[in-house]
Amino acid sequence: MTTPERQHILVTGGAGYIGSTLTELLLSRGHEVTVLDRFFFGNSLADLEKNRNLHLVKADIRSVSPSIFRDVTGVCDLAALSNDPAGELDPAKTLEINHRGRERICKLAKEAGVSRYVLASSCSIYGYQDEVVDETSSIKPLTTYAEANGLAEKSTLAEGTDRFAVTALRQSTVYGLSRRMRFDLAVNGMTLALYKQGSVRIMRDGTQWRPMVHLQDTSRAFATVLESEAGRVNGEVFNVGSEKQNLQVLPLAKRLSEAVGIPFKEDWYGDPDNRSYRVSFRKIRERLGYSTERRPEDGAREIFAALKTGRLTDGPETRTVEWYKTLLRSNAGVLEAQ
């Protein structure tokens, strides 16, 4: 295996659920990493600060100085108000941050002479689809979060040139143990319920389809794009996940129960979910040789074990919407650009 060429990567949202794992992965692969984050959920990277290849910058993508791009060769743009419910807290702010903010980062990176830009998008932009969809399929965003991802894809991909490779990664629903844990994601939330209640919380009616991907696997997808030949990824959109992990929610819940050794008992909540989609991942597999390595059972077992040992707890900051509401109550202007 060849050692990848050393790069200096700016990771926006680098202290977040995916970003903190991606940051650690990039450091382990020999890259220099600058993390740009508001640290709303705390500094999940504190124990890595002694690493001389890691630089932490507390700032906002909407207002950060262009000087942050000094010596940067690539950008992984993950900063956003994450998930569909959080996006509806303030739709205008969601579009401002998740679309315009990331568009700004892309344009500034291009002006600064950065050679790579990778946008963190989501398969949620497919909305509701009866057929298996791929990157050429029409998108049907049903939420502000999904709409903002679609707009961000369009505006950032338009910036690509021969010298500035732009790529969008449409990630499946992510699961797994993180430095900045989230329990408002399907596998993670169901595993927490199994640990605390001995039952599985399932959003009605359980027949909805979702593609799933482990946190480590989706982080590898970003690294794969950064380390691939520019011509193979420039101007491209890739779905990130595995056909084997296109799963219906109810059968998934049963699998997780079995994985952690607790008899299956359902606990229904919410209205029927109007999002349902199955996704093809053929393009990233054939173009970049990428494939996933972990399954939902692996994620459930690692989370369950961390809960049992007390290494992981489920404070309010592990649920994005609840934590944003807490921040807004304490500081009405917290989501303003700073």
Residue 197 lies in a domain: yes
Tokens of residue 234, six digits: 């420039």
pLDDT tier at 172, thresholds 50, 70, 90: very high
Residue 337 lies in a domain: no
What pLDDT does 31 receive?
A: 98
Residue 300 lies in a domain: yes
Residue 136 lies in a domain: yes
Is the pLDDT at 1 greater than 50? The verdict is no
- Total count of domains within the chain: 1
Residue 122 lies in a domain: yes
pLDDT tier at 268, thresholds 50, 70, 90: confident
Buried b (16+ CB within 10 A) or exposed e, 44-57: bbeebeeeeebbbe
Q: What is the mean pLDDT of the chain?
A: 95
Q: What are the tens digits of pLDDT across the range 178-195?
A: 999 999 999 999 999 999
Residue 126 lies in a domain: yes
Is the pLDDT at 296 greater than 90? The verdict is yes
pLDDT tier at 3, thresholds 50, 70, 90: low
Q: What are the tens digits of pLDDT across the range 154-165?
A: 999 999 999 999
Residue 1 lies in a domain: no
Q: What are the tens digits of pLDDT across the range 61-92?
A: 999 999 999 999 999 999 999 877 888 888 99
Q: What are the tens digits of pLDDT across the range 16-63?
A: 999 999 999 999 999 999 999 999 999 999 999 999 999 999 999 999
CA distance 143 to 124: 9
Q: Whole-prediction pTM value?
A: 0.95
The domain in which residue 94 lies consists of: 8-330
Q: Distance between the two ends of the chain, CA-based, in angstroms? A: 43
Tokens of residue 66, six digits: 């262009």
* CATH (domain of 110): 3.40.50.720
Residue 179 lies in a domain: yes
